[in-house]
Structure 1
């Protein structure tokens, strides 16, 4: 039996994800090894993500390693993965989803009633924060989870925004945090995806056994919403789909960069009709002023 080489970034969180997939595959009787690769996104920490102009900056290095035959499969945080995969690479499994929420790690919360500075490298978090707290300023922060937690300590900022799932997974969730239950997460936040080479039947069949169908449905809807709005890393877009009994609840949002304008789509449908649902919600947003907003966003970021 061939050994499945699992490609991953070398951050603590990425390695945690790869080891999780490794144990699942080995429990099914497969032989695996982990191969870690540094990504451009990890190396260029001094520029905001949207300025780097690369779609899938955290996934590109692993895509190349797969296409070159250095690794057989790759494990990603699904929210980092472009909605269109490179030719020859396919999505083969979505793992059961963890917490979807964003959280605020703070020094103290007094600043919420006055002025303050919040750190985030995400346009989506920045726009939603400014929409709720227009008198605050937002500063850019980059690096892996541990680096960002340290940067918050080392600077005079009041707080920083993180995905709760990442901090929980590597057990670094500080006590001084609050859940931002009003903030719509990134499409597929809290979900891990495994991609394989289309022509590699052995690895693809192995990985397919790990797929969690309810998470696959929700992330499909969220990513379809993102794809139709032409999001990628370069627009403030949030989306969350939740399955409840036989219903699928969806909330999607597009904001202007300064957070002053916000277009929301909120709908519930029978879960069996999920296929084109994300697209329908995105088209509604585009018709309600989203088209003009996307033009402005692209102009500003160009």
Structure 2
């Protein structure tokens, strides 16, 4: 539906009455949809009484004014809906989309979702801007209830991300995502620092680290992995049951090595970096290319960093 058509439909007096008839709808995905206003998106979400799972990918509405108040809420007050359990949000990180992302997160933090959200995934696309810079300080308000967090990590120390992690008093599973363009010599030291930031480390059950690599992974990316192994001390992470390291890569079409011939040397290096975790038998490592359609798409856009679901 075009933006004009969507705007005309939402502007009709009966549109939200029609939406509210989907009373049993529990899950909603909005993918690159343009709304005539932020209020239109809010009204859709508050019109679905059973909505508990929401995914937003790059929704658009008129650019919020640069001089909006820090709350960016357009006067929203505490409302009963939505009452989300699961939220996945992704925006590109240009300035106007950062303002949209912050406007949405701030509004959502003033709804019943503030005390219901247990599973949160946030990601940004485009410029190398951290998720905290994209979504703003209102993310911290969700810290009390979130049990599972999936978040992309920037290339340098992020004090706002550390502050957010420190607010996660109910966290049981943490998924940290990196791409190869953000890997730095101190990246794995940063991972250790982030998990130490958690206020209740003893209740963490799962740590998942993902790296999206464009091209053949160099063995040098594993330098410093031992910092993660040293950080996850059993006396501090007593409940930790699984550490997952997932490296996705798009092989070079001219590279003759593939499969085990490519991954075995990497796996051998990884095992030397995690002696304690392998000894405790709680680490799982996967090295693999993305699905074929993603590989084909990436081969058509060689200058873009790959993004994986």
TM-score interval, smaller chain: under 0.3
Q: Which has the higher contact order (CA 8 A, sep 6+)?
A: 1
Question: Which of the pair is proportionally richer in strand?
Answer: 1
Q: TM-score, normalised by structure 1?
A: 0.25
